[in-house]
Structure 1
Amino acid sequence: MTSDNSSPAGPRAVPTTPQEALEWVRSRFGPPRNTDGSPALLQVLEFDLGYLVYATYATRGAPVDANGRPLPAQPGGSSVVVAKETGTVSTLPNYPPQQAIALYRKQQHRRDASED
């Protein structure tokens, strides 16, 4: 998990909208790419603890084998959460949105329990 709430000019204000969270993520990470090299679309899902930013990848033009069957996706990729309270940026595995949010909540619960 990665976190950062600063810039070379010092601490930045915490994002208060999904669009601001998206801009934070864009300023810290390279753009995700579809298999053809074109940019993948970034989505933002607001939830109680933060903003989940994740890529949606095009299925059209996906690589296929000699028989026309789709090839498996390349491994890797991440989803990102920007915490509402602190602006902390955390990376998560590229899970479906609700599963990524559940994992983030679990990680936060463990972190909070270890601080007690």
Structure 2
Amino acid sequence: MTDSGRTERHPGPPPTPPPVPPPAAGGRDGAPQPVPTNADEALAIGRLYFPEVGSPGGPAELFVHEFDLGYLIHAGWPPPADPTAPPAEPGGSNVVLSRSDGEVSFLPNFPPEAAMELFHRSYRPKSA
């Protein structure tokens, strides 16, 4: 066999996994999900699904976008030291809290408008 000329990379430790979702505040054990009535309440619930703001490797800020079906919460991350390097921990997700029943949905880390559009296309309210 011949050497392909590629250099071997040792990327370091694997990326930190996303945080484990918090214990059910409702819904899974029969208790009702908290239903946010405004952006502040949605942010308080959404914080449970992200690392602590300002923690090492955590988001710099959390943002809430209110729309007709719910509240989209996404993280703002500090700028990388080297903007030309690939992200150390690619991925992530947006969290959507439904206005109707407080159901929590996870969406890909798309820009807010695209994530809300995806939620519009995929959301199916639970039937009573």
The answer, yes or no, to whether TM exceeds 0.5 is yes
The one of the two structures with greater contact order (alpha-carbon pairs below 8 A, sep at least 6) is 1
Distance 1:32 1:40 in 2: 9
Q: Structure 1 residue aligned with 2:46, among 11, 16, 25?
A: 25
Distance 1:94 1:12 in 2: 24
Q: Shift of residue 12 of structure 1?
A: 4.3
- Within a 5 Å distance, the mapping from 1:1-116 to structure 2 comes to 6=26, 10-27=31-48, 29-31=49-51, 37-59=57-79, 62-64=80-82, 70-73=84-87, 74-108=89-123, 111=124
Distance 2:84 2:52 in 1: 20
- Does the Cα contact within 8 Å between 1:5 and 1:87 map onto a contact in 2? no
- Does the Cα contact within 8 Å between 1:77 and 1:94 map onto a contact in 2? yes
CA-atom RMSD in angstroms? 2.9
- Does the Cα contact within 8 Å between 2:69 and 2:98 map onto a contact in 1? yes
Distance 2:66 2:114 in 1: 14
- Does the Cα contact within 8 Å between 1:50 and 1:81 map onto a contact in 2? yes
Count of aligned residue pairs for this structure pair: 101
Q: Shift of residue 54 of structure 1?
A: 0.4
Aligned in 2, Cα 1:107/1:91: closer, same or farther, shift over 3 Å? same
Unaligned runs of 5+ in 1: none
Q: Shift of residue 11 of structure 1?
A: 2.0
More helix by share: 1
Larger radius of gyration: 2
- Does the Cα contact within 8 Å between 1:63 and 1:70 map onto a contact in 2? no
